[in-house]
Amino acid sequence: MTLQELQDSVDRWIKEYGVRYFNELTNMAILTEEVGEVARIIARKYGEQSFKESDKNSNLSDEIADVLWVLVCLANQTGIDLTEAMQRNIDKKTQRDALRHRQNEKINPNTK
């Protein structure tokens, strides 16, 4: 699925089942909540926290998909073409960071 297909699919779902988009502020709050759920799983699976009984059925892929869903909703309702936005972002990072990470001793031990 391309980003455009994803945006179209979410838009169709919202119009068919969701009635309408939540407003941007509500979606921002929902995004924050969903990112928190991802953080909770990461902290328990890869960090030092242990799972609570209520956390044991958590699904990282589902929670990341929830984050993406809300991001797509925000893009759709604010008129952002994610394909174009991501290409511009990749171009920006490529120009800005072409050598930065390769020259970073903290992540590339071959820089000495």
- pLDDT tens digit string along 9-41? 999 999 999 999 999 999 999 999 999 999 999
Q: Which domains does the chain have, with CATH numbers?
A: 3-80 (1.10.287.1080), 83-112 (no CATH)
Burial tier of 100 (Cβ tally within 10 Å: 0-12, 13-18, 19+): exposed
Buried b (16+ CB within 10 A) or exposed e, 19-47: eebbeeeebeebbeebbebbebbeebeee
Share of the chain above pLDDT 90, in %: 78
Q: What is the pLDDT of residues 40-94, one digit of tens each?
A: 999 999 999 998 888 888 999 999 999 999 999 999 999 999 999 999 999 999 9
> Residues 18, 26: contact at Cβ < 8 Å?
no
DSSP class of residue 66 equals H
Q: pTM to 2 decimals?
A: 0.88
